[in-house]
């Protein structure tokens, strides 16, 4: 890496001076052999911050717990996506790209509707609670939990969208807009 230091600095200066875009420079670098000296030097240089971060995670239990908590949240969202998807969510049943994009957009719409309903429901519950202690407990649960919840929904049920059935059975009021 030391032998390539001047080349690394030249590459950084080229990007900083905007003589070439970083994406063009890296595209060119990726076209080289993996054995190219500059490629290997940059790869080795990139391992320095990675190693420092790993050591920091090992030494800092608070950071480690924060990372684990975030990873749990991400996994929870992945479980949500799998729950909303019928069949195998990792495989496309549609052959055409446009149909695949439509299917993904529909899944996203369903997930967003569920999250929106959860927010509306929780907002209304917060509004209805008059006891300060209960209100604080619910706020704390929301702050430490997630609105990405679906266990209260029947995702594989039979859906009736007739006018008679479209009534709100829970009593969610429309939010007050404006002031």
| 17-39 residue pLDDT tens | 999 898 898 888 888 788 888 88
pLDDT at residue 142 in the model: 82
Q: Is the pLDDT of residue 130 over 80?
A: yes
CB 29, CB 39: distance < 8 Å: yes
Tokens 């479980």, located at residue: 79
Q: Is the pLDDT of residue 91 over 80?
A: no
Judged by average pLDDT, the poorest of 13-17, 127-131, 141-145 is 141-145
Q: What's the pLDDT tens digit per position in 141-175?
A: 888 778 888 888 888 777 777 777 666 666 766 66
Q: Which residue intervals of 85-169 are DSSP H helices? A: 97-128, 132-144
Tell me the mean pLDDT in the region 3-8: 90
pTM of the model: 0.60
Domain edges within the chain: 2-102
Q: What's the pLDDT tens digit per position in 56-88?
A: 999 999 999 999 999 998 999 999 988 888 766
As a whole number of angstroms, the distance between CA 73 and CA 167 comes to 33
As a whole number of angstroms, the distance between CA 77 and CA 73 comes to 6
Q: Is the pLDDT of residue 44 over 60?
A: yes
Tokens 């030494």, located at residue: 59
Instruction: Compute the C-alpha angle 134/135/140, nearest 5°.
Output: 95
pLDDT at residue 177 in the model: 63
pLDDT at residue 92 in the model: 65
Q: Is the pLDDT of residue 179 over 60?
A: no
First to last CA, the chain: 62
Residues written for the chain: 179
């Amino acid at each position: 890496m030391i032998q390539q230091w001047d080349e690394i600095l030249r590459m950084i200066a080229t990007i900083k001076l905007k003589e070439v875009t970083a994406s063009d420079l890296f595209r060119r670098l990726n076209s080289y052999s993996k054995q190219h000296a500059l490629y290997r030097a940059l790869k080795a240089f990139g391992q320095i911050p990675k190693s420092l971060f790993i050591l920091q995670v090992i030494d800092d239990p608070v950071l480690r717990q924060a990372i684990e908590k975030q990873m749990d949240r991400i996994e929870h969202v992945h479980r949500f996506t799998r729950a909303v998807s019928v069949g195998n969510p990792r495989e496309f049943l549609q052959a055409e790209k446009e149909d695949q994009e439509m299917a993904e957009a529909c899944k996203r719409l369903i997930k967003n509707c569920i999250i929106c309903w959860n927010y509306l429901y929780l907002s209304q519950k917060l509004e209805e609670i008059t006891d300060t202690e209960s209100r604080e407990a619910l706020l704390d649960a929301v702050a430490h939990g997630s609105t990405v919840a679906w266990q209260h929904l029947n995702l594989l049920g039979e859906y009736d969208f007739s006018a008679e059935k479209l009534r709100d059975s829970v009593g969610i009021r429309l939010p007050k807009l404006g002031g």
